């Protein structure tokens, strides 16, 4: 499958997909890539072992879709994840 993303965008998509708190819905909103296409992209960009580990994490996570999240989780990242430099 041919993706029309820059290397920087692909890097960010892969990073977001690995993050436990980032829902797949957020990736789709930001980059227009649905879950099926995301799986193909991850399979192309990761080693077979890394892809297998990622799929296992996805299957076992209740945070991957916003509709499945507990009501108390309202953001896609931890409050201390993006610290400002002093």
Each residue of 43-76: pLDDT tens digit?
999 999 999 999 998 887 765 655 555 555 555 5
In contact, 35 and 23? CB cutoff 8 Å: no
Confidence of residue 19 (pLDDT cuts 50, 70, 90): confident
Q: Which domain holds residue 15?
A: 7-67
Q: Residue 22: its pLDDT value, please?
A: 82
- Judge whether 55 lies within some domain: yes
- Judge whether 79 lies within some domain: no
- Judge whether 22 lies within some domain: yes
**pTM: predicted TM-score of the whole model, two decimal places:** 0.70
DSSP string, 29-83: HHH---HHHHHHHHHHHS-HHHHHHHHHHHHT-SSSSGGGS-TT---SS-TTSSP
What six digits make up the tokens of 48?
Answer: 């077979």
- Judge whether 29 lies within some domain: yes
- Compute the mean pLDDT over every residue in the chain, rounded to the nearest whole number: 79
> What integer is the mean pLDDT of 9-13?
94
- Judge whether 75 lies within some domain: no
Q: How many folded domains does the chain comprise?
A: 1
């Amino acid at each position: 499958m041919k993706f029309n993303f820059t290397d920087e965008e692909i890097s960010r998509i892969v990073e977001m997909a690995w993050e436990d708190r980032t829902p797949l819905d957020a990736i789709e909103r930001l980059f227009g890539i649905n879950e099926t296409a995301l799986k193909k992209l991850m399979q192309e960009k990761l080693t077979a072992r890394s892809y297998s580990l990622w799929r296992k994490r996805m299957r076992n996570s209740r945070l991957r879709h916003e509709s499945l999240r507990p009501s108390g989780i309202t953001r896609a990242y931890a409050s201390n994840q993006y610290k400002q430099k002093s």
